[in-house]
Amino acid sequence: MLYGSVDDSGIQYPMQMSQIVASMKETFEVPVLIDGKEYYSSFKMESTVTGPDVKNFVREATHVIRPSKNVSLFFRRPTIKFNFQFNTDIMQLKRDAEFILALVNKLELSVFGEKIPMGNPKFDEDLLDQLHGIIEAGQALEDVGCNILIPFKELTDNDRKQIDFLCEIKASRIHFNTDQKVFQYVWYFREKSWPIVVDLNETPVKIYGYVFNTMFRFSLGSPSGQTTETLPDDAYIVPNFLRTPPEILANLLSYDYESIYEQLDRTVYNEYTADDLNGMALNLIAAYDINKEKKLLDVAEEVLNHLSKALPEVIHYQINLCQIEVRKMGSLSEERLNRLDTLKIVADSLPEPENEEQANIKRVFYYCSAVVKGEIAEADLLYNELSDADKTGVDDWPIRALHLQLKDTIPFLTTEQADYIRIQQEKALAIVSNPEDSLYEPDEKERLTAARRLMREWEHAMKGK
């Protein structure tokens, strides 16, 4: 008796001598084409061959061609049938759906240089409708540069609604309350953000993801008094995410750092772009404070290093580099401290401010210096010296977030130490806020000197000295 295997179970069955069975599995690096277009560059094939003798094997062969995890093509001469399953993410499903719809339209495919007809198949119209929907969803995600790798079967109803909403935008079925024809919009998926550009000038509506799309080149408008004749065309090239808010940067669906650094390499760092680029670096630092993505600090550091080389006389780039280092390392290196002390000496040697605005700028610098050096008591005092307007501005900066964070890391103290610190702090702040207090000299510098002394005593107590 002859035994043989007819499936993947490994079980051996008795076979009639008149019915010879053979099976084969193999991967072929051969293209699968429809009407001359290549849809797959390789495929797996399982073949089962039966027949009364060797000469009839080919005539009795059944082949299952699997070019992807979703598509199975059953070929038994002279026709072919297909089976479609939703096993992968949308982007792979889109490619497979395009293949199946092309096959349905052409009714034949080519493999091994031979055309294989489908015969007279009957198609499941519901499946074809699903495939059209998959292509529409996949195209919308492709347009905005968003590759959602979640298997289709694992998408929730809400997930599908969010993807459908993107399709609705493309199909002009969403009304936006704006008179602009081209505008930015933030699309959300699973509460993660993805900024896009919506162009209502086109039909269907065009949508683009722009943050990591290097095909886009964002630039600033020319400053007053400058013309395209006086400056080169690329004088204002900046990253696409220049003005993306920190809360959006911190909550992106994914991060393409290769694209980010490519954009930084083509960015122009000069006096016209510097303020915006410094603001972008601050946004990146603030985004890190939200999601703790350390690579965002690396990007901010890269931008600030470029700015420091282009405009070495600007002090606040160094302050911002310092606050990045504190976030990364917990404190400043000796080299950075020395550099900061040098800047402080320069600031101290400057002439007395001519007006309150100049005085506040100097106070802000001293405040920021105290924060990055970890002199929390001094920073507290200097913050209270700022004008209300400057406080409002500083409150929105990452340096203020770092200040508050460092205050929250005060080591555990005994009740006696805590009470002493509270009293000293109250005394120091009273000196600043009550200049007419008869206990202290009315001279401002003397009052501030006394306050600083008390605050330093507080700081020493805090450190257990």
pLDDT band of 156, cuts 50, 70, 90: very high
In a domain, 243, yes or no: no
- Residue 222: DSSP 8-state: P
- Residue 59: DSSP 8-state: G
Q: CA 464, CA 321: separation in Å to the nearest integer? A: 30
Most confident by average pLDDT, 115-124, 222-231, 336-345: 336-345
Most confident by average pLDDT, 319-333, 349-363, 425-439: 319-333
In a domain, 323, yes or no: yes
The answer to whether 452 and 378 have CB atoms below 8 angstroms apart is yes
Which contacts (CB < 8 Å, 24+ apart) does range 47-55 have?
A: 47/23, 48/6, 48/21, 48/22, 48/23, 49/21, 49/22, 49/23, 49/24, 50/19, 50/20, 50/21, 50/22, 51/19, 51/20, 52/18, 52/19, 52/20, 53/20, 54/20
Q: What is the pLDDT averaged over residues 169-197?
A: 92
Q: How many CB atoms lie within 10 A of CB 85?
A: 14
- Average pLDDT over the chain reads 82
Higher-pLDDT residue of 375 and 97 is: 97
In a domain, 17, yes or no: yes
Read off the tokens for 395: 């409150």
Q: Hey, what's the torsion of the CAs at 279, 284, 285, 288, to 10 degrees? A: 160
pLDDT of residue 228: 44
In a domain, 193, yes or no: no
In a domain, 150, yes or no: no
Q: CA 219, CA 266: separation in Å to the nearest integer? A: 11
pLDDT at 451 exceeding the cut of 90: no
Q: Give burial (CB, 10 Å; 0-12/13-18/19+) of 26.
A: exposed
Coil, helix or strand at residue 434: coil
Residues 6+ apart with CB under 8 A from 75: 62, 63, 64, 65, 116
pLDDT at 439 exceeding the cut of 70: no
Containing 66, the helix (H) or strand (E) segment is strand 61-66
Residues 6+ apart with CB under 8 A from 438: none
pLDDT of residue 381: 87
The answer to whether 172 and 181 have CB atoms below 8 angstroms apart is no
Residues 6+ apart with CB under 8 A from 254: 146, 147
Backbone angles phi, psi at 98, to 5 degrees: -60, -40
Domain of 37 in residue numbering reads as 2-86+105-120
Structural domain count of the chain: 2
Q: CA 368, CA 385: separation in Å to the nearest integer? A: 13
Domain boundary among 97, 120, 143: 120
Read off the tokens for 104: 């349905």
Q: What is the pLDDT averaged over residues 299-319?
A: 95
pLDDT band of 344, cuts 50, 70, 90: confident
Containing 100, the helix (H) or strand (E) segment is helix 90-106
Domain boundary among 63, 96, 120: 120
In a domain, 155, yes or no: no
Query: What b/e sequence results for 235-248 when a residue is b if at least 16 CB atoms lie within 10 Å of its CB, and e otherwise?
Result: bbbbbbbbebebeb
In a domain, 437, yes or no: yes
pLDDT at 224 exceeding the cut of 60: no
Q: CA 382, CA 94: separation in Å to the nearest integer? A: 59
Backbone angles phi, psi at 262, to 5 degrees: -65, -40
In a domain, 196, yes or no: no
